[in-house]
A and B are shown apart, each in its own frame.
Chain A
């Protein structure tokens, strides 16, 4: 991940005019999911913003987007007037994050840190969703947040590089009696896809808006002026032409993967595309209606799942679609998110 600090007397106003969610809702020690858009409403990045102090914000951004984010933040700063007190500082090279996720994590998270939090929380386990606090660890200070990208209970720990190795070791040791195991991006990706969470470069890009990506909830058009607002308001009013949807494969088939084409379901199509189409070319009677943006085999559901960008008319829950895999059509169904919810 990337870690960018934004501070100064005008930091809150500056960020609220640069990000889509309402920063005014954040008290010190709280965080929110938000998006950074360009004027056309395309997504520069999606991120978490943590209010560490009244005039200090930590932005947790995608590692692949650090340069683009910094560039955009500096550009926005210059637009907002140089006289205002806003400081942007990239700490990505000096900072790392460990996500400690799973139902047992509240049972041992307190054993990692001594005493009260430096903001308001008594102990890490009492942090509520999206709350953040700081604790001393070794010779440094680390941030512990009740956030995550897995759909599970859990915490994210943001720490200076010097503390990371010791922290990783202690997390594994203290979590061992609770069955902790190290997990990489592959495991993270199946978990976030079962939840239907978007990932930058897949469901989010500069060519797609948060409305089209299904993140409209995090665009607060009523909060006042912010970059991309007029374009996003227009989209909210008019209904976008394409949309990101979640889907499940209907039977045994190869796992869907990014880039596979989406078609109307062959069986359903027979009724919709009747004799009237006789004489038309295949691309006219059986057009590509979308593309898979992410896909995997769901370990929890034991079937292929994914997300796709489809024409708005094919975005309704229950719509039968086909995914083309190496030229063969496999049926799938557009489903409500999350695709999997733990009982």
Chain B
């Protein structure tokens, strides 16, 4: 069973988002990292880039495959996780914590109606 924290929102495409005040932190789920196997490279968006919901904004590369990552909420890229450049394996080791991808500056209350809660995501990946 994969780890699915209750305090996060989830996209069907396996991103998680943690909304705190006017910022949102984004990464990929424990289930996603397990499916990808060893992550060897993460390509992140440039800071300052404005993202709409669903924008293709990062690439996760494992030995198996290259996978696109989509913005789960709209916002402006505030900060990227620089540690991933040298240690992309943080994505595998700590997907919800040290392996975060980027932070977004939100413009007001974000639209999260398309996102799943922990139970909904668990159901989607067949772990409910």
Contacts and interface: CB of A to CB of B under 8 A. Distances in A.
Interface of B: 38, 40-41, 43, 59, 61, 63-64, 66, 85-86
Contact of A253 (B41, B64, B86): B41
Contacts of B43: 254, 326
Contacts of B38: 297
A254 B63 contact: no
A326 B43 CA distance: 10
B85 A252 contact: yes
A138 interface: no
Interface string A320-337: 000000100000000000
A95 B7 CA distance: 53
**Main SS of the interface on chain B?**
strand
Contact of A252 (B41, B63, B66): B41
Nearest to B60: A254
Interface residues of A, number: 11
Interface in A269-287: none
Given A297-B40, A326-B43, A254 B85 contact: no
**Main SS of the interface on chain A?**
loop
A190 interface: yes
Contact of B66 (A190, A253, A257, A299): A257
Contact of A254 (B41, B64, B86): B41
A294 B64 CA distance: 13
Contacts of B85: 252
5 smallest beta-carbon distances between A and B, as pairs: A254-B41, A297-B40, A254-B61, A297-B63, A255-B61
**A190, A254, A326 — most chain B CB neighbours (10 Å):** A254
A93 B86 CA distance: 47
Interface in A156-206: 186, 190
A190 B41 CA distance: 17
25 contacts: A186-B63, A186-B64, A190-B63, A252-B41, A252-B85, A252-B86, A253-B41, A254-B40, A254-B41, A254-B43, A254-B59, A254-B61, A254-B66, A255-B40, A255-B41, A255-B61, A255-B63, A257-B66, A296-B63, A297-B38, A297-B40, A297-B63, A299-B63, A326-B43, A326-B59
A314 B107 CA distance: 51
A254 B43 CA distance: 8
Contacts of B86: 252
A186 B43 CA distance: 23
Interface string A288-301: 00000000110100
B127 to A, nearest CB: 24
Given A190-B63, A255-B61, 17 more contacts: A186-B63, A186-B64, A252-B41, A252-B85, A254-B40, A254-B41, A254-B43, A254-B59, A254-B61, A255-B40, A255-B63, A257-B66, A296-B63, A297-B38, A297-B63, A299-B63, A326-B43
Contacts of A252: 41, 85-86
B86 to A, nearest CB: 7
Nearest to B43: A254
Interface in A227-258: 252-255, 257
A323 to B, nearest CB: 13
A255 B61 CA distance: 7
A326 B59 CA distance: 10
